[in-house]
Amino acid sequence: MSKQKETLIIVGSIIGLGIILLFRKAEEKAKAIIYSAKDFVKSLKPIVERIRPQYNSGFVITVAALESNYGNSKLAKEANNLFSITGETWAKQGKPVIYMETKEYSETKGWYITKRPFRKYASWEESVKDFFNLLENNTRYQRVIQTLKGININDFAEAMWLSGYATDPEYKDKIIARYNTIKNYL
C-alpha cells in the first residue's frame, strides 16, 4: 500500500472518529438539559391537559416537579419517569425498567436506602398516561382522583399522602411547597 493511501486511511479514520465523538457529545448534551421550574411547567402542561383535560393539571405537574426535580432527576433523564413509579410488576411482566437506589421511610426502620426497579417510558407523555392509569385504576387513589377535579391543593396533597403514594412522612407538606413554587407558571 502506498504512503498516500495509508495517509488517506488514517485521516479518514480520524475524521470518522471525530464525527462519532461529536454525535456522542450532542447526545450527552441533550440529556444534560437542566429544566428550570418555568421551563418544566411550560413543557409538561400541554401534555397533561391533552391527556386528561378534566383534571387540575397544576396538581399533576406539581407531583411531577417534586418527584423528578423539574425533569432533572436521573430517573427522569434516563427513563422519562416523572412520577417515580416503581416497576416491580413491570419487571415481572418483562416490560422496561431501570434499577435505581431510592430513599424510603418506614416507621420501624426510619430512612433507608434500597434498590428497586422503576418503570421506564419512551416519553414524558407515556409517563403522564401511566400516572393517570395508576390513579384511576387503583382503589386506594379514589380520593386523589376526586381532589384532582378540584382547586384545593391542601386537599389534593393530603389525599396523595393518605393514599400512601410516597413513604415520606412530610410528603403532603412537600407537595404544597412545590405547588407554591410553581403556581405562577401554571
Q: Per the structure block, which three cell numbers stand in for 74? A: 436521573
Long-range contacts of 20-23 (CB under 8 A, 24+ apart): none
Q: Can you spell out the DSSP letters for 83-112?
A: S--B-HHHHHHT--EEEEEEEEEETTTEEE
**Catalytic residue among 130, 136, 155, 168, which?**
130
For residues 12 and 166, what is the distance between their CA atoms, to the nearest angstrom? 54
The residue written with cell numbers 436521573 in the block is 74
In angstroms, what is the C-alpha Rg of the chain? 21
Cβ atoms < 10 Å from Cβ of 154 = 12
CB 129 within 8 A of CB 82: no
- Residue among 39, 104, 136, 155 flagged as catalytic: 104
Q: DSSP state, 53?
A: T
- Is 39 a catalytic site residue? no
Q: Is 78 a catalytic residue?
A: no
Residues designated catalytic: 104, 130
